[in-house]
Amino acid sequence: MSSASRLRPGEAAPAPLEVVIVGTDGLAEIVAEAARLAAAIEAGGHRATRFLTHPDDGHPPVFPAADLVVVLGGDGSILRAARWMGYTQAPVLGVNLGHLGFLADVPRHDACEAVQEIAAGRFRLVDHLMFETEILRGDAVSLRELGLNETSILAGPPFSMIEIGLVVDGEPATTYRADGLIVSTPVGSTAYNLSAGGPIVRKDLDAFVFTPLNPHTLTNRTVVDSAARTYEILVPEPNAGSSCVVDGRVVDRVVPGDRIRVRRAAPRFTLVETGRHGYYRTLRDKLGWGGGLRAAAAPVSRGGT
């Protein structure tokens, strides 16, 4: 974990903890919740800094040093917080004030209690893969972005298919004819990748998921490969509107000759978990993945009785 956080599972935290509360400024419920939570944290002998910004802020002021970052909102707010922390990640507690909240797992009414549990050492830390996306233009790296969910190469206007080459550790792997390609982490596998028909990959694994968008060839299927490898994406003839998108943000156009490199980043994104929600319970609760679990309580007839 690339953090100077003093949090240690099983140990009461030294006081005072530096807690940074992150949320969207201008939204009344988030401003009010941030004030309520800050008061509770300070009443417990710790320090709270409210870091409220607007979603369209490109690069906000330097992120404060933190032992714990409490993000108010949804998964998009957590992605922004991870990007703003950059290469010095601190443990994140996600408080769900959004919709799905796959990463933001704590209900708002449990937020104060969750912080108390963390201060008492009753929590666990779960590290997740982060990645770097670099655009190599000519002999130089023209852009470098840190991400958590996915890098997407999108064909864009005039919305014709493009050819996308995938190179793994310097070896050509395949060429897709498609509307784009998603390179997802396990955390991102339940986001854009899932909507595009890709698989769910357990979020604490170190792997990348490659899912083509509307591929022209039936044999083009999702591939899961090790995060220990370096991947390059080549688009020899991009459309005028082809773009590289990292965690939902367009970071640059894709022009002929570009090489888009994706590889594991040095920092790890760390979630703080205080409850007893297992991974599969989260899938059931957040994604409606329950299937026949309700029916499983009743005996199933095997026939002949």
Q: What is the distance between the alpha carbons of residues 185 and 193, in angstroms, rounded to a whole number? A: 9
Q: Mind listing the pLDDT tens digit for each residue in 89-143?
A: 999 999 998 776 778 889 889 999 999 999 999 999 999 999 999 999 988 999 9
Neighbours of 163 (CB within 10 A): 15
Provide the domain limits for residue 145.
Answer: 131-264
Do 247 and 150 share a structural domain? yes
Alpha helix ranges (H) inside the chain: 28-43, 75-85, 111-119, 192-195, 279-287
Q: What is the mean pLDDT of the chain?
A: 89
Pairing between β-strand 223-226 and β-strand 231-234 as defined by DSSP bridges = unpaired
Q: Can you tell me the mean pLDDT for 5-23?
A: 90
CATH number at residue 179: 2.60.200.30
Instruction: Note whether residue 164 is domain-resident.
Output: yes
Rounded to 10 deg, the angle between the 28-43 and 111-119 helix axes is 30
Instruction: Note whether residue 47 is domain-resident.
Output: yes
> 98 or 49: whose pLDDT is higher?
49
Instruction: Note whether residue 175 is domain-resident.
Output: yes
CA-wise closest residue to 103 among 24, 188, 206: 188
Residue type, 165: G
**How much is the pLDDT for 187?**
95
Q: Mind listing the pLDDT tens digit for each residue in 217-246?
A: 888 889 999 999 999 999 999 999 999 999
Do 274 and 173 share a structural domain? no
Do 148 and 38 share a structural domain? no
Q: Give the distance from CA 51 to its chain's centroid.
A: 20
Distances (CA, A) of 293 to 189, 191, 298: 23, 23, 10
> 276 or 151: whose pLDDT is higher?
151
Catalytic residues: 75
Instruction: Note whether residue 215 is domain-resident.
Output: yes
Do 172 and 93 share a structural domain? no
Do 234 and 140 share a structural domain? yes
**What is the value of pTM for the model shown?**
0.89
Do 135 and 255 share a structural domain? yes
Do 250 and 137 share a structural domain? yes
**How much is the pLDDT for 284?**
78
Highest mean pLDDT among 8-17, 47-56, 100-109, 123-132: 123-132
Domain count along the chain:
2
